[in-house]
Structure 1
Amino acid sequence: MLRYQVVESFLSINGEGKRAGQLAVFLRFAGCNLKCSYCDTMWANQPDVAYTWMTKEEIYEIVRQSGAKNVTITGGEPLLQKGMKELLAFLAEDESLTIEIETNGSVDLTPYLSISDRVVMTMDYKLPGSGMEDRMNLSNLKKLRTVDTVKFVSGSREDLIRAVQIMEEYTLRGRCACYLSPVFGRIEPVEMVEFMKERQLTGVNLQIQMHKVIWDPEMKGV
């Protein structure tokens, strides 16, 4: 029987992405294969992090009891969990749900893209400031669908320039949703807006993590 390492689950609003501001039930899974300089969930990636082994049926019961129709699967890197495709397919059997996977861009997305158009990817392309750009699986950028999102978390002008290069090289604008998001405390959003004006980034969204504005940026479970 497949079981999954669930670090925490909670009901809150989506702080970012296409469904920002909407209620979602969050399922955070243990472990990550990257170590980004700005990671805000490093605690969930530690070898000794506390987690609960859960079956797909137990996970679905959390979703059902929450009453939310948006499900956010996050980590760490949730696609490292053995049997994640089976879990996503099981959740997708409930046609009232939209399931968003927050993935770090290093894991091949191919096995998951054919499950359902209601299983959507928010792929975080790691820019130079993350220290992890060399770990990106670039083939993913060619496979993203119109329902998917690519997010560029930027902490400097160098990061922003690189984000535009990737958007152009892989013709992302117009093919999937493209978001720029500031590294909290490293770059001012106004600088990003000026950059967007300068580069005429029509169709690109600037997004500030709402949960870090509403609550203490270090608070868990929000």
Structure 2
Amino acid sequence: MSASVHLVNRPPPATILQATATRSRLLFLIETPWMHPTIPAHRVALLTTRPTGTLLIHEIYRSLQGESSYAGLPCVFVRLSVCDLRCKWCDTPHAFGQGTPMDPAAIREQVLAFDCPLVEFTGGEPLLQPEIHPLMRQLLNDGKTVLLETSGAHDLTPVDPRVHLIMDLKCPDSGEVARNRWENLPLLKPSDEIKFVIASRVDFDWMIATVREHQLAERCSLLASAVFGSVTPLQLANWLLESGEQKIRMQLQLHKYIWDPQARGV
């Protein structure tokens, strides 16, 4: 069985801003649109080992939601294995190369056993496994609030509109800015969220330029998260206040402050 991977080969509808730092000043270079790169096959090869109809799951656990507008609430996390991106600051590389094939019915049963109203699908990259869609619909029909955290590199069209999307827009220092699928922006609902992970001042200024170019503050909620250990909360707070932007919400990864930053299953 081959992995179901959506390869994007269309350019984004708008030009992309890349930032180059020169001491205290930043020069933005506007480049022509480019083609999305091909997914390296070895990154998703593990998906070919799972039996038909199953999902490759890294872990299922209950904790506090550490990010988004749901931060602080009890939540059941379903972490799917495998990701086709390699963000330089990724904090879940352990999910890339191992996982347990599970029947969607067994996953649903385990999630319902926690008796928690909030469920998040994360990864890895959940949208690499299309079997996730009927499972999310089932949990929505069970009365759960379902969150989907995704890299933004894959088509959102198949996602049930009842799902609360938390979509990344990858900044330059992630190393994966070329994978942003700009065609997804019109698919976002006002209740959805776009997350920018900020590793530097270059990333921050790219975020501000992107928010303004695409008028994202009028589209949905916006989140700015500092890379733990690279940008301090104080730095990000000061940059936001100085920017004059009124609709970008700063967030901290609560679980990294409550528990050990390297702890899993939290």
Compute the TM-score of the two structures, normalised by the length of structure 1. 0.93
Which amino acid counterpart does residue 140 of structure 2 have in structure 1?
A
Structure 1: how far apart are the matches of 2:221 and 2:110? Answer: 29
Following superposition, the deviation at residue 111 of structure 1 comes to: 1.3
Q: Rg larger in 1 or in 2?
A: 2
Following superposition, the deviation at residue 82 of structure 1 comes to: 3.1
Following superposition, the deviation at residue 116 of structure 1 comes to: 3.6
Q: Does 1:156 align with 2:200?
A: yes
Structure 1: how far apart are the matches of 2:184 and 2:121? Answer: 18
Which amino acid counterpart does residue 165 of structure 1 have in structure 2?
A
Question: What pairs up with 1:1-222 in 2 under 5 angstroms?
Answer: 2-46=53-97, 49=98, 51-94=99-142, 96-112=143-159, 115-117=160-162, 119-222=163-266
Which amino acid counterpart does residue 7 of structure 1 have in structure 2?
H
Which amino acid counterpart does residue 34 of structure 1 have in structure 2?
L
Residue by residue over 1:79-105, the C-alpha shift from the partner in whole angstroms, topping out at 9 and shown as x without a partner, is 1013222222222211x2110001011
Residue by residue over 1:111-134, the C-alpha shift from the partner in whole angstroms, topping out at 9 and shown as x without a partner, is 11xx242x1110011101100000
Compute the TM-score of the two structures, normalised by the length of structure 2. 0.78
Structure 1: how far apart are the matches of 2:60 and 2:215? Answer: 35
Which amino acid counterpart does residue 130 of structure 2 have in structure 1?
K
Which amino acid counterpart does residue 21 of structure 1 have in structure 2?
G
Following superposition, the deviation at residue 3 of structure 1 comes to: 1.1
Q: Which runs of 5+ in 2 are unaligned?
A: 1-51
Following superposition, the deviation at residue 53 of structure 1 comes to: 1.7
Which amino acid counterpart does residue 134 of structure 1 have in structure 2?
A
Q: Which runs of 5+ in 1 are unaligned?
A: none
Secondary structure of the residue that 2:218 maps to in structure 1?
coil
Following superposition, the deviation at residue 142 of structure 1 comes to: 2.4
Asked whether the 8 Å contact 1:77–1:103 carries over to 2, the reply is yes
Asked whether the 8 Å contact 1:104–1:126 carries over to 2, the reply is yes
Following superposition, the deviation at residue 195 of structure 1 comes to: 1.3
Runs of 4+ in 1 over 3 A off after TM superposition: none
Secondary structure of the residue that 2:185 maps to in structure 1?
helix
Structure 1: how far apart are the matches of 2:66 and 2:92? Answer: 14
Which amino acid counterpart does residue 134 of structure 2 have in structure 1?
E
Secondary structure of the residue that 1:43 maps to in structure 2?
helix
